[in-house]
A = this chain, B = another copy of it.
Amino acid sequence: MNQIKIFSPATVANVSCGFDCLGFAVNDLGDTMTFTKTSTKEVKITDIKGANLPLEADKNVASAVALLMLEKHSADFGLEISIQKGYSPGSGLGSSAASAAGAAFAVNELLGKPFSQLELTKFAMYGEKVACGSEIADNVAAALYGGFILVQQYEPLAIVKIPVPEELMLVAIHPQVKVRTKDARDVLPENIPLADAVTQWANVGGLISGLYSQNFEVIANSLQDIVVEPARKHLIPHFDLVKEAAVNAGALNAGISGSGPTIFALCKGEENAKKVYHAIEDTYTDKGIDFTMVYSKINTEGVKILEQN
């Protein structure tokens, strides 16, 4: 194989009660990336469409991951990478993770698949470190594995793939405002009441159970974040309004995607998702803030090959 073109999905991390451990992949939003072998042993970003991102090989997430993998495998070739961003960086939908996971997956294919999915996750986590300074796993694991994933532990890394009910749908709104990662981190409480922690972990248990048993009532009851959302929501304009509109329109619930500003809602079935889409859209149309919206099934396969030759 000399060339591979892949699709790497956007991802929602910090899924309500599952702060810092639960993420899922979006079916209809993501990046398209093409990786072409070269004989020079260099890695070059040839072009990036759709976003203003670094082209330098060690600063761009995709090339940084590719470089590391080629080096680890003592590859005798280099790469040219072309990236078509499908959505904006800074949205809270795992933009750097899509690039990192896409690169990990594609380079593994070009190398003849020497690495396991868990190893690819670790390579992609290095990409997250290049992008934001820390090796977080939830977005990249969701992009690589597809579906819902749980980062059960970091040392050693353990990822658990959770089944997704067929009818589960995502609606998300990305208000065009900037939430700085530092601000989103700074508002987090260092300590939380044990009673709140118990409420939160009972909900994590409920959510995982609801996903396995396809029990939407349990999913809806459990999709709550009483710890991080109250601390962060003021960073996102009209968060409460959007959430209320989503729930009133029948969404299972809504929350902050990643560290925002995207707000996601989960819904049962396409018909309900359409209602929720319009209800959320209505709340934002007169607010003087630009926004984009997503309506999608949950991606269950992760990064996928579009073309290869």
Contact = CB atoms under 8 A, between A and B. Distances in A.
A190 B193 contact: yes
A197 B199 CA distance: 11
Which interface residue of A19, A152, A205 has the most chain B CB atoms within 10 A?
A205
A215 B190 CA distance: 33
Given A208-B208, A209-B160, A209-B208, A152 B198 contact: no
B150 A209 contact: yes
B205 A205 contact: yes
B198 A21 contact: yes
B209 A162 contact: yes
A107 to B, nearest CB: 28
Contacts of A218: 152, 158, 160
Given A194-B192, A208-B209, A18 B158 contact: no
Interface string A137-169: 000000000000011110000101010000000
A106 to B, nearest CB: 29
A257 to B, nearest CB: 18
Contacts of A209: 150, 152, 160, 162, 208, 212
Contacts of A192: 191-192, 194, 197
A152 B218 CA distance: 8
Contact of A151 (B20, B191, B202, B210): B202
Nearest to A215: B160
A189 to B, nearest CB: 6
Interface string A200-222: 11111111111011010010011
A279 interface: no
Given A21-B198, A188-B194, A192-B197, A152 B203 contact: yes
A200 B202 contact: no
B203 A153 contact: yes
Contacts of A222: 152
A30 to B, nearest CB: 25
A212 B193 CA distance: 29
A111 interface: no
A308 B256 CA distance: 54
A150 B193 contact: no
Contacts of A158: 206, 218, 221
A204 B218 CA distance: 16
A22 interface: yes
A17 interface: yes
Interface of A: 17-22, 150-153, 158, 160, 162, 188-194, 197-210, 212-213, 215, 218, 221-222, 227
A-B complex: 4 closest residue pairs judged by Cβ atoms: A152-B206, A201-B201, A21-B202, A197-B197
Given A20-B198, A188-B194, 13 more contacts: A18-B205, A152-B206, A152-B209, A153-B206, A158-B206, A160-B205, A160-B209, A160-B215, A162-B209, A192-B194, A197-B201, A205-B207, A208-B212
